[in-house]
Amino acid sequence: MLTVLANPTYRRLFTAQVIALVGTGLSTVALGLLAYDLAGPDAGAVLGTALAIKMVAYVGVAPLAGALAARLPRKPLLIGLDAVRAGIAACLPWVDQVWQVHALVFLLQAASAAFTPTFQATIPEVLVDERDYTRALSLSRLAYDLESLLSPVLAAAALAVVTHDALFAGTTLGFTASALLVLAAALPATRAARVADRTLAATTRGLRTYLATPRLRGLLAVHLAAAAAGSVVLVNTVPHVRGALGLGDTAVAVALAAYGLGSLVAALALPRVLDRHRDRSVVLRACAGLTAVLALAVPATALPDPARWPVLLSLWALLGAGCSLVLTPGGRLLRRSAHPDHLPAVFAADFSLSHACWLLCYPLAGALGAATTMPVTLVCLGAVALAATAAAHRSWPADDPEALEHDHDPDHDRAHLEGATPVDGRLRHTHAYRIDDLHTRWPAHAGRKP
């Protein structure tokens, strides 16, 4: 897996991602402490609102950012967004009102909503070989998992000698270092957007491509299944471990670490798995696995006390592994489904739609956990995961080749139709099929057995 780091451009970009993630992890801890300083017992409400603002920014800003990324030089855009994030993080220690926290969080997450899909769309242009790109996706997953495991530890070590305001300084340094590494990387040139593209068309291109491509509609359902399972862990672990199991804060951290460890192990194994099995098979089986684990967790809540804790850790690790297997191959599907100059818009659409799934499941898991019991919460979120898995099976054809035979009207683009065969008054040819101005819908016969 580490062989892809031999590519100097990718090595710099991956290092930039890791450093920025560590900075983001430090800011997460610092933001919680800042909220407590400002709101005391109401800190949870402040953080809950900040989380909702984050998701709204991700869902609303990403499509606009995708259109912008297709028109602006890639490197200056990424460096500028890192600079904006560094500046906002530098301002956070100086706030003294809750509304200021919310305003700065929105600006910070809006910049991240522009940065992340643009950054993600750059990687497949740097690593053109699919095996290398698969390994890069697994490394990226590992980076996220390690950040979730190590950032709280780093923050705790730092807080032993400094105040939480200094953690924001660490975030600022992280984004600054990320900008410098992007500056040092030799990024592919941005393809010029066509003048004929209207602003609205450019803004919605990624969403139109995404929703018109069957495998990507399946990916959206997959995101919903992962959000349903992940929300149970991220939202309900604290009240379940502290309340139902009667354990302390350390146990909460261990339970969340088990989830992260499962994800990390699956990410390490994934490149070899995808070398042997098709993406659809791996992803849909993992989706079914998430539903099964949520179902198994229901009777596990009634086990005797000595058994409930180790069983919970095992189930949480399985959920982490399942989410990693479900989500990590998504980048391969996006690259397969869009032209290179449309990749920023399609990655932005995926970023927006996937976070819309989390925006739905986070409050659902929270409301169910507060109003009912853990078994009821597991059943309801398991039902969401099951329905999403079934939708993914229906949307994503079992026979899903990249090249499709299809017909055009004779008056379509002559250069594109060169070599096409006349059939019943139309012209027929075969090539790697992607939604664009010449191919606005998926062929009706695609995915059917001959």
Out of 3.30.70.330, 1.20.1250.20, 1.10.10.10, 1.20.1090.10, select the CATH number for domain 1-190: 1.20.1250.20
Residue whose pair of structure tokens reads 């339970």 in the numeric block: 255
Answer yes or no: are the C-beta atoms of 68 and 77 closer than 8 Å: yes
Q: What would the pLDDT profile of 192-220 be if each residue is shown by its tens digit?
A: 444 444 555 656 778 888 999 999 999 99
- Quick one: pLDDT at residue 218? 95
Sign of CA dihedral 119, 121, 127, 131: positive
d(Cα 214, Cα 220) in Å, to the nearest integer?
10
Domain ranges, ordered by start, for the chain: 1-190, 204-401
Task: Determine what percent of the chain is predicted with pLDDT higher than 90.
Answer: 24
Report the b/e string of 384-421 with b at 16+ CB within 10 A: bbbebbebbbebbbeebeeebebbbeeeeeeeebeebe
Higher pLDDT, 445 or 217: 217
> 385-423 pLDDT, tens per residue?
999 999 999 999 988 888 888 888 877 777 777 778 888
Q: Whole-prediction pTM value? A: 0.80
Q: Which helix (H) or strand (E) holds 174?
A: helix 165-184
Of 230, 186, 237, 196, whose CA–CA distance to 75 is shortest?
186
Mean predicted confidence (pLDDT) in 123-132: 83
What pLDDT sits at residue 196? 42
Report the DSSP pairing between strands 421-423 and 403-408.
Answer: unpaired
Angle at CA 60, nearest 5°, toward 54 and 61?
Answer: 85
Asked if pLDDT for residue 4 goes beyond 70, the answer is yes
What DSSP character marks residue 240?
A: I
Fold matches, 1-190 and 204-401: yes
Q: Which of 232, 199, 181, 192 is nearest to 380 (CA)?
A: 232
Q: Which two tokens stand for residue 59?
A: 């869902």
- Check pLDDT > 90 for residue 359: no
Q: How far apart are CA 260 and CA 237, in angstroms?
A: 13
pLDDT band at 18 (very low <50, low <70, confident <90, very high): confident
CA distance 241 to 248: 8
| Contact in structure between 263 and 141 (CB atoms under 8 Å) | yes
Residue with tokens 């600022």: 172
Q: Report the distance separating Cα 252 and Cα 243, nearest Å.
A: 11
- Residue 52, pLDDT > 80, answer no
Q: How big is the chain, counted in residues?
A: 450
**How many whole angstroms separate alpha carbon 245 and alpha carbon 313?**
12
Q: Is the dihedral of CA 415, 204, 330, 144 positive or negative?
A: positive
Eight-state DSSP code of residue 193: P
- 404 pairs with which residues across the strands? 431
For residue 281, give the 3-state DSSP assignment.
Answer: helix
**Average pLDDT score over the chain:** 83
Pick the closest to residue 226 from 293, 144, 162, 160 (CA basis). 293
pLDDT confidence of residue 172: 92
Closest CA to 390 of 224, 232, 210: 224
Class of domain 204-401: mainly alpha
Beta bridge partners of 407: 428
